[in-house]
Structures are given as C-alpha cells and as structure tokens.
Amino acid sequence: MGDLTVTSLEDRGNAPLPGPVTAPDRPGPLRRLRSPRRPRLWFEVLLIAVSYWTYSKIRNAVPEQRTQALRNADWIWRTEHHLGIAVEESVNHAVNSVTWLVVGMNYYYATLHFIVTLSVLVWLFRSHPGRYAATRTVLFATTGVALVGYYLYPLAPPRLMTGGHFVDTVAVHRTWGSMASGDLKHMSNQYAAMPSIHIGWSLWCGLTIFALASVPWVRVLGLLYPATTLLVIVSTANHFLLDAVGGILCLTFGFAVTVIWYGALPYTLPRTVPARNRGRSSLPTRP
C-alpha cells in the first residue's frame, strides 16, 4: 500500500528493504550545506534567550559616539532632501497633533516589535517544523549584520538631531515607550538608528506570514504589519526613511545566508521534516 508496502528479501533476491517513501528534495540553485531537522523546543528557547542577551549587550556596548552620530544624522537628512523623500518631520508633527494616535504608536513601537516576532517564531515551530530552522536563520543573520551596522555607523535618530524640530513623542506625552527615549534612555545606546531592526524584523514577519499562512485576511495583515511599522518609526521620530532601507538590506543579507546554507528559500522547503532527518523515526511524513 504505497509508502508502507515492504517487499521481502526472498522475493527480491539481494535487493535491500525499501525505507519510507518521502517526496524528493527539489533541486536548488546551490548545493545544500544543511538539511532541515525537527527543531527542539529546549534548544530554541535557549538559543533565543542567549541571542537576545548577546544582541542587547553588543548593541549597548557600542560606543555612543555622539558627535559622529549627529554628524551622520545631518548627512542623512540632507541626502533625503536631495532625494526628495524628507517627509519625516511633516509626518511626525501631523501624528503628534492627535494624542490618542501618537500614544498608541508609542506603545506599538515599544511592544509589538517583540510580541509579533516571537509569536511568528512559535507559529513556525508548531505548524511548519520543516521550515522553522531556515526561517529562523534569516532572522538571526539579519540581526547579526545589523549589529555590524550599529558599530560602523553610529546614527542619531531624528528626535535627537541638534537644532532639529522633531518631536520626541515618548518624552512629550510621557508614555512608556522606546528604551532609547524618556526615562529609559540611559539603558540603551541612543545612537543605533542605522539600520532599523524594527523594519528588518517586521518585514521578516510580514513575508513569513504572507508566504505560509492559509487564511487570506491573515496574509493581508502580514503585509500591513511592516507598512504600519514604517509609519510608526517615522511618526515617533525614531528613524529616518533611509534607516528602513538599511533594515531591508540587512534582511536581504539574511535571506542570502539562508539560501546558501539550505540551498533554497526557507518558504519553499517541506512543511514537515523528512523522515530520514528525524533520527529514530521511520514513519512517513504527512503532506
């Protein structure tokens, strides 16, 4: 009967017993360096905890080069004017005039960045175990290269520009918000605005949801999430538009690393882990 039929050695001479039949791997453009394996919960929890601790330590250990960071901010702002995309100040003032909206954006900036990302990781772990490790690798590689950006290119956010007219919405409205603003500003490096990891992570979430979710309205929400995040980071004067471009470039790097490592985009890998990669398990995988 299909996958579970086994022919004896007497019937087939010296032919070996067939193993469970699984769908053949799709040939990728590159040789695969690693095959998908079933993720282990304890390892993933430990990896995320250690990675976030390391990320926070490295990000906050980068010297706060205030003079250079402000100089870079002035250059970014002039460049955006030259390109005709310097809309951040207008958006910041327009949103700040609507108290309930800007307060909501402050809380959005401070919380959803972590909540949504962790939720997508949990969903992948439970529903797409064959794609989990590769998709998680995209996120980790994105974050790793962003740390390099923080070290090499200190950048002040718009709200800290010397002589600027941006509104620090967290400080003005006294809301609990960004770790780099208000009462918590001394706990975080304030000059790590390039690239925007908010955009890198939110776009990772959005693309993952759009590619793998089966419910149409959920897929639409996936696309709206990074778009809304872009509006929020600009409205709260935490990032320039070019910071968002930096976040997108970091995510592109993350996908490139994963394609080299796994031989394919993570979303094209099998949803479940092939039986031969499960160790002792010999049951065929479900489609």
> How does pLDDT run across 210-253, given as a tens digit for each residue?
999 999 999 999 999 999 999 999 999 999 999 999 999 999 99
Lowest mean pLDDT among 88-102, 224-238, 243-257, 267-281: 267-281
CA atoms within 13 A on the CB side of 146: 32
Is the dihedral angle over the CA atoms 51, 54, 59, 60 positive or is it negative?
positive
Q: Give the pTM.
A: 0.77
Q: Would you say how long the chain is, in residues?
A: 287
Tokens 């882990």 map to which residue?
273
* Contact (Cβ atoms closer than 8 angstroms) between residue 238 and residue 74: no
Nearest residue to 68 via CA among 183, 164, 192, 163: 192
Nearest residue to 266 via CA among 45, 48, 41, 36: 36
Amino acid code (one letter) for 82: H
Indicate the angle between helix axes 66-83 and 241-262, nearest 10 degrees. Answer: 100
Confidence of residue 34 (pLDDT cuts 50, 70, 90): low
Indicate the angle between helix axes 99-127 and 88-96, nearest 10 degrees. Answer: 110
**Is residue 179 over pLDDT 80?**
no
What the block records as the tokens of 258 is 């994963």
pLDDT at 285: 40
pLDDT tens per residue across span 121-135: 999 999 999 999 999
Domain boundaries, the chain: 64-269
Secondary structure element (H or E) that encloses residue 131, with its range: helix 129-152
pLDDT tens per residue across span 102-122: 999 999 999 999 999 999 999
pLDDT at 46: 73
User: How far, in Å, are 83, 128, 149 from residue 187 at the CA level?
Assistant: 34, 36, 20
Measured at the CA of 108, the angle between CA 174 and CA 97, to 5 degrees, comes to 55
d(CA 240, CA 111): 20
Average pLDDT, rounded, for the chain: 80
**Is residue 161 over pLDDT 80?**
yes
What the block records as the tokens of 165 is 């007219």
